[in-house]
Amino acid sequence: MEIKNNRLVGATFVEANAYNKTATIKPDAIIIHYTAGASGAATVKLFAAKTATTSAHFVVSEDGTITQMVDLNRKAYHAGTSSYNGRSSYNGFSIGIEISNPGYLKKIDGKYYTWWEAKKENKTPVDPSKVFTGKHRNAVTTMTYWYKYTDAQIAAVKELCKAICKAYDIKEILGHEEIAPGRKCDPGPAYPLDELRNEVLFGSNTANLSDIFKEAISKSAATSLTIGKVKVKLNFRQQPSTTAALKSSPIAANSYVYIIGKDSSGEWFNILHEISGWIDKEYIEQDNTDSDYDGWLNSDKAMLYSDQKKSRRMVSDLKTGTKFNILEQQENMFRIKAVVEGWACAKYITEQK
């Protein structure tokens, strides 16, 4: 895909009714949405209608077809009241991508319904294979139900974002749910938003990350996720303090970590770091079902060592239930890979953003 003169080359252009037709913008952010509608064609019709008051630059249909509706140097009305990281009113500097998707699903008597079907007397449920169950990034615990995006949409949006990044100096790719939390929940957990921005903005493909890493990220309190590159060999601690106990052996220079939070001073980053080491068989519980993990730890006493001879202890506290993948086995020792959360000095980590 290629952007030329503020348009996606080869894409159908259907002009939206509502957008700022006089002023120009210099986009440096991309906002991902779902339409909460039944089809891409219906959304295009809706934005083009003379009564429309909202719009987006692009609509991505179920089959991955992209329709452009506003030139990329014009302000579309997709973000509404919004702020993130000290900036607000995202319409003024962002490109809006609407992905056709019904969004949040309601569960009634074991069946799942789109918001519009849920209101009807004779409801038609969603095909169960289209239901995604997951925790929203803005929610604390509850698992909720969402309509799956198609592979064609995920691929098309990724290529579209790459093309946009080539044409403009894009610094952020965010979900509407991140710039308007509480008010908006799109694109929701069914959309691989972290993978999209990590790959497109930071050149890191989280599709290659282990499932335990992905789970650690989804379980963390992170409302946004940034990749950080460690500048020096860096201590990894249990608390944001230079006197706090170490979490594991130091993180090697040039390692990548996930920044999931900061302390109030901003001098410490709460990070996720993937570690591997050797552990006694007695502390592990293997899971031979078709799970994404090879097992979990059955004791808080589990210790990770640098080698099978237990020469050096690597992690001070691996919690019961920590999931892992087995890399290697030698008699009673297993080499496992797990993800550990802890703190590191912010000044030694470059945020890839």
Q: Which of 117, 172, 178, 186 binds Zn ion (CB under 5 A)?
A: 186
Residues 6 or more apart from 7 whose CB is under 8 A from it?
13, 68, 71, 72
Residue 223: closest CA among 103, 349, 347, 135? 135
Q: How many residues bind Zn ion (CB under 5 A)?
A: 3
d(CA 227, CA 215): 16
CB of residue 134 to Zn ion, shortest distance in Å? 18
CB of residue 176 to Zn ion, shortest distance in Å? 3
**CA dihedral sign, ordered 227, 181, 54, 118:** positive
Under 8 Å between Cβ of 292 and 299: no
**Which range binds Zn ion by CB under 5 A, 29-37, 114-122, 230-238, 254-262?**
29-37
Distance of CA 168 to the CA centre of its chain: 22
Residue 186 vs 294, nearer CB to Zn ion: 186
Residue 72 vs 304, nearer CB to Zn ion: 72
Residue 180 vs 338, nearer CB to Zn ion: 180
User: Residue 192, preceding bond cis, omega within 30 degrees?
Assistant: no
Q: Which of 8, 27, 30, 33 binds Zn ion (CB under 5 A)?
A: 33
Residue 181 vs 261, nearer CB to Zn ion: 181
Site membership for Zn ion, residue 176 (CB under 5 A): yes
CB of residue 184 to Zn ion, shortest distance in Å? 5
Site membership for Zn ion, residue 177 (CB under 5 A): no
Tokens 């470059």 appear where? 350
**Which range binds Zn ion by CB under 5 A, 10-18, 28-36, 48-56, 253-261?**
28-36
Residue 314: closest CA among 285, 278, 273, 272? 278
Q: Contact positions toward Zn ion, by CB under 5 A?
A: 33, 176, 186
